[in-house]
Amino acid sequence: MAARILAGALAGAGATVVLNDAYPDAIPSLGLSRPKDIKLTYFDIAGVADKVRIAMHIGGMAFEDDRVSFAQWPSIKPTTPNGQLPLMESGGKRYTQSSAMLQLVGKLTGLQSRDPWAALLVDEVIGLDEDFRKKVAPSVYVAYDKSLSARQKKAKVAPMRKTIAEEDIPFYFSRFEKKLEENEYLTGPKVTIADVQFLTTVRWMSSGILDGIPATCLDPFPKIKAFKEKMEAIPEVAAYLESTKKK
């Protein structure tokens, strides 16, 4: 039955429309029209690019993972469209904005639904994650403020991180915990780009690299801890994370 439907879908545009209506996730899951020449340029850190990298690995998309050093950045920056990374290149064109890249990968691999209402749920979760990241960002920016001494930075960051640890993480992560109590993944029974993005967030928060944010911050959220472990155990994710370990 499924084979006949698929054959009909491939037979012509009209049949494809019918298939899309009946099985909105079928076409992207086939990986049709995936570019073969994607190059993703970013620093040799997780940062905002890791969600795109991980999504491409899960989705089986081939890409060149171009990593530049911070020392190289001043000479590269003027050559980029908006003076920022990550930068995606394909088909002779250049693209910016990691969130837009994540959406592209989702559409090409089936990690974002073709059903607009299901896609809305995915985007809703991504938006919630981005709201949380906005709470963290100011404390990170301080660390790059060259006008401040190390002592001044520490004094400014400490109360900001205290608020994040004691107020923001409990507020936002309890919402994600609730979603994982209701679904296997954040929006349903299968992995989406929302899960990929949130994975990068929980890995960041529990890494211990942010002063004032304990590596044990996930302990009050058993569903999130289990989610993290399950996502990291996906073979493509596990292989990628292993490849990024510093030797």
Each residue's pLDDT expressed in tens, for the chain with a length of 247 residues: 444 444 444 444 333 333 344 444 444 444 456 788 999 999 999 999 999 999 999 999 999 999 999 999 999 999 999 999 999 999 999 999 999 999 999 999 999 999 999 999 999 999 999 999 999 999 999 988 999 999 999 999 999 999 999 999 999 999 999 999 999 999 999 999 999 999 999 999 999 999 999 999 999 999 999 999 999 999 999 999 999 987 5
Domain 39-109 sits in CATH at 3.40.30.10
Alpha helix locations (H) across 61-168? Answer: 73-76, 98-109, 116-143, 150-163
> For residue 74, what are its two tokens?
């001043």
Contacts of 38 (CB under 8 A, 6+ apart): 56, 61, 62, 63, 64, 88, 89, 90
Q: Where are the beta strands (DSSP E) in the chain?
A: 39-43, 64-68, 87-90, 93-96
- Cα distances from 37 to residues 63, 80, 88, 90, in angstroms, run 7, 18, 10, 6
Which residue carries 């890494």 as its tokens? 207
> For residue 123, what are its two tokens?
């985007």
Q: From 230, 228, 231, select the one nearest 218 (Cα to Cα).
A: 228
User: Is 110 within 8 Å of 29 (Cβ atoms)?
Assistant: yes
Q: Give the span between the Cα atoms of 12 and 1, in whole angstroms.
A: 18
**Burial class (CB within 10 angstroms; exposed 0-12, middle 13-18, buried 19+) of 58:** buried
Residues of the chain with CATH 3.40.30.10: 39-109
DSSP 115: S
User: Is 190 within 8 Å of 139 (Cβ atoms)?
Assistant: no
First to last CA, the chain: 50
Amino acid at 242: E
Q: Give the span between the Cα atoms of 51 and 107, in whole angstroms.
A: 14
What confidence score (pLDDT) does residue 15 get?
39
Q: Give the span between the Cα atoms of 200 and 226, in whole angstroms.
A: 14
Return the CATH number of 116-243, one of 3.30.930.10, 2.40.128.120, 2.60.40.10, 1.20.1050.10.
1.20.1050.10
Phi, psi for 62 (deg, rounded to 5): -75, 140
Q: From 25, 26, 7, select the one nearest 15 (Cα to Cα).
A: 7
Residues of the chain with CATH 1.20.1050.10: 116-243
